[in-house]
Structure 1
């Protein structure tokens, strides 16, 4: 038996519990991973709350989590890419990563680079692939000036750094407490709140080429008002507004590819991109982990360590 996070109905984080379940057995083309680290994400909270039930309906009892990293403990028929004892990272589409063991198709796993720590490896998929998709969506390249909202958050911190590796000038919207981190990573920090449009214009006197929203719909409308071309405005969260305004809305699903994940893992392992770890929690404190996440003021990732 092994422990796993479960919920039996939609609701707040108090519906979460940890119970003993049978260790999964790998089907053909799968491996079982002994999970060393599993990141948590706002999208998982939205699924559990029922906010995304039309797109991602839950079947109860439901597990939770997509990010994971760990050690292969068993392999299914036909698996040749991995063997027991291999260190891997990747994702689950079954909401099963927040557990001690998870069965995962080999098509959703890569080998963990030796220099990559477990906490980073186990929280890389969602932020890494989402950041990659967002940067790709706006066609950001050398010489561009790109505004990023929530620039020091879990996805934002990766977007900011990925843009910088591509020679982009980043104007990062964040609370003053995160301005030092943004400046240290080559971004121009700007505080949110009243007067933001004027501060953005002052920070980007030559104009804004693209805008990546990681927080909410008000930023899409702000980008339009600032004259940013709509095909270079991207959101990972405000889908209805993006459809209304004709802007872009791409996320991790659009870049869920082992090649993309391997590229992001290599950047993290080399130190070209830092994945800040805001906090770690044991599995039985999963509610506390989501309580911290839902404050929406953490810098970097919150990770469960089963």
Structure 2
């Protein structure tokens, strides 16, 4: 059984529509795929309606959070949320707030670039991005304008968190995010917690601190994790009694990663489903 629990569609910053995503998942030989767009459930209904026979769909989300970095300062963290009730009022309100933060941040970054003479139209970028706006939308605009050769090049320079155009946004405190997901009947999994190429890292001692508040698992097998970091995360998950997942973090043509490049073991998936109480998996 091939299980990929972290993918993105055009509902946030992927390039496949939700319907296209589930079709691609089936074509790639997956048995289970999770749709986990940033801070939104907007792609759930379309993905569910287009789900091919034989493919199990897990409805989820990737949440923008802030935790404690290894240097003691706040650091951006992503938290995967699976099978939660989207109608939970507190969690729905927080998702709406996060999406507003995304739009404001993207506009601010685009306006800084335009003020410096870069061929970027903030209104056009926002119109193409939709409510789950993210830096990849600005990256694609820079590629189309000929400013950079690729999305990766944009992130390495102009969109870098250390770059002159970077603007912070007010993300959800990690502990509160874990609690919200649990309260909505979902299961939380820390995403790519050792993706060193993305910048500063979360202090892994915070993982232990989050267990009593409902943290469900760690994404261990991820394309941005080295073999040694996967070992560290796997041992930490076992020590803390957490689920161990593996996922591609597929974004379509925005990244070179393919569906199913990293996968989750069936027993871990079964445990994840068993711990959820929000919405069911969609299976034939």
TM-score, reference length from structure 1: 0.26
**Bigger radius of gyration, 1 or 2?**
1
Which structure would you say has the larger RCO, counting Cα contacts within 8 Å and 6 or more residues apart?
2
Richer in strand (by share): 1
